Structure 1
Amino acid sequence: MSSKRAIWLAFFLNLSYAIIEFIAGGVFGSSAVLADSVHDLGDAIAIGLSAFLETISNREEDSHYTLGYKRFSLLGALITAVILMTGSALVILENIRKLFHPQPINDEGILWLGIIAVSINVLASLVVRKGKTKNESILSLHFLEDTLGWIAVILMAIILRFTDWYILDPLLSLVISFFILSKAIPRFWSTLKIFLDAVPEGLNSEKLEQDLLSLENVKSINQLSIWSMDGLENNAIVHLCLEDLTRMEECKEAIRSQLRQSGVHNITIEVDTSPMNHNQHKRCLEDIGGIKGHEH
């Protein structure tokens, strides 16, 4: 399944459940479930926005976006991550208060609602978990959050059928929220760095430059720029000088091979074809040095 179809399906599953949860909350008279339905509706809107941006990201480059639209997928991932972190932070703040004032819940109704919720979130997670984009990765974390949350609710509902330990509700919510934040923040930061054109993770630009300089016929590297548009495909621009311009194509192929081995596949190579050869360049530097020495 393509990324955009997977995310659209996840959106409709999440939106459907938000509606079911809202109705169930009214039937059970549970303000907590009603509040969570609003939270899930916000999540559904975030997923819908991500799906929309993922669709845009699949467009080919044109006169408006000459590098293509892949960055829109990253934008969707960033927005979803921000909503996920904000939601987790709000849950933490709300449940710290509930630790001191735990409230009774309808355990039987919540139990069945939790089973339905876990089924829907597991299905949505299976849809996006094999995706490779940053957007799908963030959405997969979102569904993990919901699944873990509702599993905790199911366990809590079972325990509350035999006890009145209502403090379990805020405790479990806090544990899950902190767990999700520990996962969401690094992913958000990783996506943000890609969005800001940082060198992709796993690539050492200094080492790569030294590897290129060690290639036969490479005289100097004037520029080595490495970035990724979507976190999947790495791009590079190399500007260099050669010892022997007659072996340019051979050297270019060696550079491409070296970069591909390092995980860079979209490569642009520019060679300085100045007519000044190595000996002329050396004599020019000696002349400049002689002039400076004469001035002194």
Structure 2
Amino acid sequence: MSSKRAVWLAFFLNLSFAIVEFIAGGVFGSSAVLADSVHDLGDAVAIGVSAVLETISNREEDSRYTLGYKRFSLLGALITAVILMTGSVLIILENLTKLFHPQPVNNEGILWLGIIAVTINVLASLVVRNGKTKNESILSLHFLEDTLGWVAVILMAIVLRFTDWYILDPLLSLVISFFILSKAIPRFWSTLKIFLDAVPEGVDIEQVKSDLEQLDHVASVNQLNLWTMDGLEKNAIVHVCLEHVKHMEVCKESIRDLLKERGFQNVTIEVDEDLATHRSHKRNVEELEASQSHGHDHQH
């Protein structure tokens, strides 16, 4: 399934269950379920925004966006990650007080609702699990959060059928929320670095530069830019100075092969004048500057 369809299906599953959860919360008289339905509705909105941006990201480049629309997928991932982290923090703050004042839970209705919730979230997680985009990765984490949360609710409902340990509810929520934060924050930072054109993860730019300088006929590497638009395709711009201009085509091919071996799909190469000409030009410029300086001193 394409990333666009996967995200849209995840959106409709999440929105549908948020509505079911809201109705069930009213029927069971459970404020906890009603509160979670609001949380899921917020998640559905976040996924909807991501779905729209994922659709836009599949467009081809045009006169307005000459590098394409892939960054829109990253924007969706950032928005979803922020909402995910914000929701986790709010859950933590809410449940800290409940540790000291635990509330009774309606076991029977919550147990069946939990089973339905886990089924829906597992299905949604399977839809986006094999996705490669950052957006799908963040959504997969979102469904993991919901699945773990509802598994905890099911276990809690079973235990509370035989005990009155109502403190389990806020305690499990805190554990899950901290776990999700530990996963969401690194994902958010990773996506943000891509958005800011950082060197792709796992790439040592100094090593790449050193390998380029060791290629035959390369005198120096004057410029090396490495980045990725969406975390999948890697791009490179290389500006080199050659030992002799006659080796230009051979050198370009060597540079392109080296970078493709390191996972760079799009490579732009700019070749400067050969080293001998470069030194001669530099010497002429220095002599001209010295002559002008001498003439200026003589006038004084």
Using the size of structure 1 for normalisation, the TM-score is 0.95
| Structure 1 residue runs without a partner (length 5+) | none
Deviates more, 1:140-149 or 1:261-270: 261-270
The answer for the alignment partner of 1:232 in structure 2 is: 232
Q: Secondary structure at the match of 2:169?
A: helix
The answer for the alignment partner of 1:18 in structure 2 is: 18
Q: Does 1:157 align with 2:157?
A: yes
Q: Kindly tell me: are residues 65 and 279 of structure 1, through their superposed partners in 2, closer, same or farther at Cα, counting changes over 3 Å?
A: closer
Count of residue pairs brought into register by the alignment = 295
The answer for the alignment partner of 1:35 in structure 2 is: 35
Task: Kindly provide the amino acid, as one letter, of the partner of residue 147 in structure 2.
Answer: T
| Correspondence list, 1:62-141, <5 A | 62-141=62-141
- Offset at residue 288 of structure 1 (A): 8.0
Q: Secondary structure at the match of 2:239?
A: strand
Q: Output the CA distance in 2 between the equivalents of 1:84 and 1:69.
A: 24
Q: Secondary structure at the match of 1:222?
A: strand
Q: Output the CA distance in 1 between the equivalents of 2:286 and 2:76.
A: 56
Q: Output the CA distance in 1 between the equivalents of 2:19 and 2:184.
A: 26
Q: Secondary structure at the match of 1:101?
A: coil
Task: Kindly provide the amino acid, as one letter, of the partner of residue 54 in structure 1.
Answer: E
The answer for the alignment partner of 2:263 in structure 1 is: 263
Task: Kindly provide the amino acid, as one letter, of the partner of residue 113 in structure 2.
Answer: L
Checking the alignment, whether the CA contact within 8 Å between 2:111 and 2:153 is kept in structure 1 is yes
Q: Output the CA distance in 2 between the equivalents of 1:278 and 1:27.
A: 81
Q: Output the CA distance in 1 between the equivalents of 2:75 and 2:287.
A: 54
- Offset at residue 273 of structure 1 (A): 3.6
Q: Output the CA distance in 2 between the equivalents of 1:73 and 1:92.
A: 29
Residue identity (%)? 78
Q: Secondary structure at the match of 2:99?
A: helix
- Offset at residue 107 of structure 1 (A): 0.6
The answer for the alignment partner of 1:219 in structure 2 is: 219
| Residues 208-237 of structure 1, C-alpha deviations (whole Å, 9 max, x = no match) | 111100000011111100111000001011
Deviates more, 1:178-187 or 1:256-265: 256-265
- Offset at residue 280 of structure 1 (A): 2.4
Q: Output the CA distance in 2 between the equivalents of 1:143 and 1:176.
A: 12
Checking the alignment, whether the CA contact within 8 Å between 1:217 and 1:244 is kept in structure 2 is yes
Q: Output the CA distance in 2 between the equivalents of 1:214 and 1:289.
A: 33
Deviates more, 1:180-189 or 1:272-281: 272-281
Q: Output the CA distance in 2 between the equivalents of 1:169 and 1:256.
A: 57
Q: Output the CA distance in 2 between the equivalents of 1:134 and 1:275.
A: 43
Q: Secondary structure at the match of 2:104?
A: coil
Q: Output the CA distance in 2 between the equivalents of 1:187 and 1:233.
A: 18
Q: Secondary structure at the match of 2:201?
A: coil
Q: Secondary structure at the match of 1:238?
A: strand
| Residues 38-92 of structure 1, C-alpha deviations (whole Å, 9 max, x = no match) | 1000000000100000000000111111110000000000000000000000000
- Offset at residue 262 of structure 1 (A): 1.2
| Residues 22-49 of structure 1, C-alpha deviations (whole Å, 9 max, x = no match) | 0100110001100100100000000010
Q: Kindly tell me: are residues 183 and 59 of structure 1, through their superposed partners in 2, closer, same or farther at Cα, counting changes over 3 Å?
A: same
Q: Does 1:188 align with 2:222?
A: no
The answer for the alignment partner of 1:205 in structure 2 is: 205
Q: Secondary structure at the match of 2:198?
A: coil
Q: Does 1:51 align with 2:55?
A: no
Consecutive aligned runs of 4 or more in structure 1 exceeding 2 Å deviation: 273-276, 278-291
The answer for the alignment partner of 1:175 in structure 2 is: 175
Q: Kindly tell me: are residues 247 and 112 of structure 1, through their superposed partners in 2, closer, same or farther at Cα, counting changes over 3 Å?
A: same
Checking the alignment, whether the CA contact within 8 Å between 2:226 and 2:234 is kept in structure 1 is yes
- Offset at residue 276 of structure 1 (A): 6.2
Checking the alignment, whether the CA contact within 8 Å between 1:243 and 1:278 is kept in structure 2 is no
Q: Secondary structure at the match of 2:223?
A: strand
Q: Kindly tell me: are residues 30 and 245 of structure 1, through their superposed partners in 2, closer, same or farther at Cα, counting changes over 3 Å?
A: same
Q: Output the CA distance in 1 between the equivalents of 2:279 and 2:83.
A: 61
Checking the alignment, whether the CA contact within 8 Å between 1:156 and 1:168 is kept in structure 2 is yes
Q: Secondary structure at the match of 1:104?
A: coil
Q: Secondary structure at the match of 1:221?
A: strand
| Residues 121-167 of structure 1, C-alpha deviations (whole Å, 9 max, x = no match) | 00000000100000000000000000000000000000000000000
| Structure 2 residue runs without a partner (length 5+) | none
Q: Secondary structure at the match of 1:268?
A: strand
Task: Kindly provide the amino acid, as one letter, of the partner of residue 247 in structure 1.
Answer: H
RMSD: 2.0
